[in-house]
Structure 1
Amino acid sequence: MTTRRDELAEGATDYALEHGLVGLSLRPLAESLGTSDRMLLYHFRDKDDLITTILRTSNARSMQGIRDLPPSVDLRTAVLDLWRTVSRGDQQRCQRLYVEAAALGLFGREPYATEVREANAAWMSALAGHLVAAGLARADARRVAELVDSAFVGLQMDQPLDSAARQRRTVADLADAVADRWVPS
């Protein structure tokens, strides 16, 4: 059963995915949700609790998108499939929100630092699971997931500034390198 808090969390996450976290103000957020800032604070302890909930909801959506991917036929294809998934639509917006939270967390701002640290562990597990399903040895999964994710984050940061063709070529090079380096189990 969905509670009012759950409904507000989903709506607030959609709002943050559209408008970002920097400068997030409760009044415009509440207005867009058809409620008041006081009611938001009734359902969420404070603004930090709301932000924590938004980040967790966004991360859960991202991980579900990875888990919903059918197994890739091989490791190279897995990297390409992962990129196709994280670089488009709702997944891309979730990734951008994560990068924004990570940047704020770098400066020690809470709840960003804690939430990003927790999100990383879960996210790496989702990526590693997809790579293992494509034939990667479980012992190598975390290492490869970290490599792939690091490259993806860099590419996502450059996405508005780079050509789509250059990004496709870079991802293909990454996929080739991963497939050449790690032999399937």
Structure 2
Amino acid sequence: MARPLDHAKRAELLHGVVEYIAANGLAELSLRPLAAAIGTSSRMLIYYFDTKEELLVQALATQRPDIAALFADIADASALRECLTDFFESSLSGDGATSVRVLLQVLGAACAPGSPYARYAHDAIATFVAELSAALRRVDISDDTEAVATLLISGLRGVIQDRLITGDVARTARAAQRLIEQSIH
């Protein structure tokens, strides 16, 4: 009889996987070094998650912010600008930075034909566009809200990536602020 899954251990493994990807990258991820780094075996990772791809998709799912909650209380353009500015800054520090580093790697990997991350990346972007579009409609942005949401999401993602690569806080903060202000007026 198979032993039941230890859900606390599973959650601990997922957290370790995210930390490992943030520190070591996704491109050449191998189960043995990953397992050793998080204190388990590759056999146990397969036991808990079946495949490396499923392990990574589940680890990523633990990092997805609640985008609906992020924009739920937005009632005016000023609050939306402030919310996006706060989201930008929180994406670059603490747990937010870990999640963003991992997400940026997944988005890059999702571009490859047949990528196992394509569905996850598509869903993450679609959710963000839908929720931000709804917030834009609530604050009476008369432009094409999907296009404005896409511009904001893609633009901020690029500015975040720029900051993570260059470390230029002042320039990237100005760029993010300008993008937000010009998109939500």
User: Normalising by structure 1, what TM-score?
Assistant: 0.77
Taking the aligned partners of 1:57 and 1:138, their CA distance within structure 2 comes to 35
1:144 Cα deviation after fit: 2.9
Equivalent pairs, count:
176
Partner of residue 159 from structure 2, selected from 155, 158, 178: 155
Aligned twin of 1:164 = 169
The answer (yes or no) to whether the contact 1:66–1:85 under 8 Å persists in 2 is no
Higher mean alpha-carbon deviation, 157-166 vs 28-37, is at 157-166
Alpha-carbon deviations, 1:31-68, whole Å to 9, x = none? 2222111111111111111121122222x2xx138836
* Distance verdict in 2 for CA 1:9–1:102, change over 3 Å: same
Quote the RMSD (CA, aligned, Å).
2.9
1:1-185 mapped onto 2 (5 Å cutoff): 2-58=7-63, 60=64, 63-64=65-66, 67=69, 71=73, 73-128=78-133, 135-136=139-140, 141-159=145-163, 160-161=165-166, 163-180=168-185
The answer (yes or no) to whether the contact 2:80–2:135 under 8 Å persists in 1 is no
Taking the aligned partners of 2:123 and 2:173, their CA distance within structure 1 comes to 30
Taking the aligned partners of 1:12 and 1:55, their CA distance within structure 2 comes to 9
Q: In percent, how many aligned pairs have the same letter?
A: 28
Report SS of the residue matched to 2:29.
Answer: coil
Unaligned runs of 5+ in 2: 1-5
The answer (yes or no) to whether the contact 2:160–2:172 under 8 Å persists in 1 is no
* Distance verdict in 2 for CA 1:33–1:163, change over 3 Å: closer
Unaligned runs of 5+ in 1: 181-185
